[in-house]
């Protein structure tokens, strides 16, 4: 069995046969008897009823089977009001809106599975799932769905409530098609930027990445069905988004607080420096007005949920303040540094004087002359 994964560039991945368990159908749907559990093979086409038999015998087994399946599907959509019944990929695009997250064609999910999937989607309003029982041209259907939905105003209107970035995620699942069972993913800019978008589903060389690996592990290792495995992937996507945004917000807030504290204490340190050294120029008169203005810009960016800009603005101000504080400390330590260096040079000169005259001894003495010592002192003054 071939299982393919699609992303925006329409990547398809062939995975080993055991992955057929990703999309297993209930035994009662497949008419395989009373054995409970899941079946491996896809269902065989239901034989057509002879017209006369269909019209004259409502007790015919095939008629009852079709009626049962129809009633089951109707019950599924009625018990899960958020499920939108669809007839094709084009019909899905026509019916798509941001308030409806689950679109189903066919009877591949039980009522209980639909209920779990609906619960997952309600907790993750930026995620949409399209489930189709079959496709005779899966690439064409995928193109219709991914482009039609992802380029729609409804899908693009799904934004993060804090940052305002687009965060829509779309999964398209085919239980059967002309190329086997498939799953495709499409995502918007926020999950892409944070590394949990379609690019993290599969790489350009058709190798599974973290999200697909998570999906497979949920099935093979944890024994989950399709809704359960998809829930694990969705939780990973939105959990990462939530954690990253909270982290960025907290980091920006912390840096802004550090800048505010540094600016509050800076006038005292500057006053002490001026009283001790009477220094003018940029070192004695830093442009604190500009620092205050930059801090205000950082606060505005934070209030507007532009955490990256808030972090950049506040960190820049903090770096300037710390650099100025270091420069004042070094200025105050300059005489001690100069005296220490002079002592070192004097010691070197004494050692050189003990060398034999002429040759390398004379050259070393010239290099350690008072003129050289005086130049070093001037540089430190």
Per residue in 107-143, pLDDT (tens digit) is 999 999 999 999 999 999 999 999 999 999 999 999 9
Percentage of residues of the chain with pLDDT beyond 90: 56
CA angle 202, 208, 214 (to 5 degrees): 105
Question: What does the pLDDT average to over 66-86?
Answer: 55
Comparing CA positions, the residue from 304, 308, 306, 293 lying closest to residue 263 is 293
Greater confidence (34 vs 273) lies with 273
Question: What does the pLDDT average to over 282-291?
Answer: 93
Residue 93 confidence (pLDDT):
98
Q: Any residues with CB less than 8 A from the CB of 317 and at least 6 apart, and which? A: 259, 263, 291, 294, 295, 298
Beta strands in 78-195 (DSSP E): 83-85, 102-105, 127-132, 169-174, 181-187
Distance CA 29, CA 300 (A): 58
Between 98-102, 245-249, 251-255, 354-358, the lowest mean confidence (pLDDT) is in 354-358
Greater confidence (330 vs 94) lies with 94
Distance CA 31, CA 40 (A): 13
Question: What does the pLDDT average to over 282-286?
Answer: 91
Distance CA 194, CA 211 (A): 13
Greater confidence (158 vs 283) lies with 158
Greater confidence (206 vs 92) lies with 92
Question: What does the pLDDT average to over 80-91?
Answer: 87
Is the confidence at residue 15, as pLDDT, over 80?
no
Angle between helices 307-353 and 370-380 (to 10 degrees): 160
Is the confidence at residue 313, as pLDDT, over 80?
yes
Is the confidence at residue 358, as pLDDT, over 80?
no
Distance CA 240, CA 159 (A): 16
Is the confidence at residue 2, as pLDDT, over 80?
no
Mean pLDDT of the chain, nearest integer: 77
Tell me which residue has tokens 């010239």. 366
Is the confidence at residue 6, as pLDDT, over 80?
no
């Amino acid at each position: 069995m071939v299982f393919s994964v699609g992303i925006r560039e329409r990547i398809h991945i062939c995975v080993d046969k055991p992955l057929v368990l990703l999309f297993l159908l209930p035994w009662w749907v497949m008419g395989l008897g009373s054995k409970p559990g899941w079946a491996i093979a896809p269902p065989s086409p239901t034989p057509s009823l002879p017209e006369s038999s269909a019209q004259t015998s409502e007790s015919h087994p095939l008629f009852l089977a079709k009626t049962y399946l129809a009633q089951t599907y109707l019950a599924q959509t009625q018990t899960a009001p958020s499920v939108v019944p669809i007839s094709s990929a084009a019909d899905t695009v026509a019916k798509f809106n941001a308030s409806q997250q689950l679109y189903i064609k066919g009877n591949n999910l039980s009522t209980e599975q639909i209920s779990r999937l609906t619960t997952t989607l309600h907790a993750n309003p930026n995620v949409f799932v399209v489930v189709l029982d079959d496709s005779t041209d899966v690439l064409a259907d995928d193109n219709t769905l991914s482009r039609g939905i992802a380029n729609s105003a409804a899908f693009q209107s799904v934004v993060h409530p804090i940052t305002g970035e687009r965060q829509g995620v779309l999964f398209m699942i085919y239980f059967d098609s002309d190329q086997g069972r498939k799953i495709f993913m499409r995502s918007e800019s926020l999950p892409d930027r944070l590394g949990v978008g379609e690019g993290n589903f599969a790489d350009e060389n058709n190798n599974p990445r973290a999200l697909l690996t998570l999906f497979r592990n949920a099935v093979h290792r944890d024994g989950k069905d399709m809704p359960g495995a998809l829930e694990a992937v969705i939780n990973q996507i939105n959990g990462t988004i939530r954690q990253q945004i909270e982290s960025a917000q907290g980091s920006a807030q912390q840096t802004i607080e550090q800048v505010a504290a540094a600016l509050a204490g800076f006038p005292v340190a500057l006053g002490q420096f001026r009283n001790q050294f009477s220094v003018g120029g940029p070192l004695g008169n830093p442009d604190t007005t500009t620092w205050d203005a930059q801090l205000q810009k950082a606060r505005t960016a934070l209030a507007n949920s532009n955490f990256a800009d808030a972090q950049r603005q506040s960190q820049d101000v903090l770096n300037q303040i710390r650099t100025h504080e270091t420069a004042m400390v070094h200025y105050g330590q300059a005489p001690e540094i100069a005296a220490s260096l002079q002592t070192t040079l004097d010691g070197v000169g004494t050692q050189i004087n003990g060398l034999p005259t002429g040759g390398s001894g004379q050259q070393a003495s010239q290099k350690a002359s008072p003129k050289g010592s005086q130049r070093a002192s001037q540089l430190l003054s």
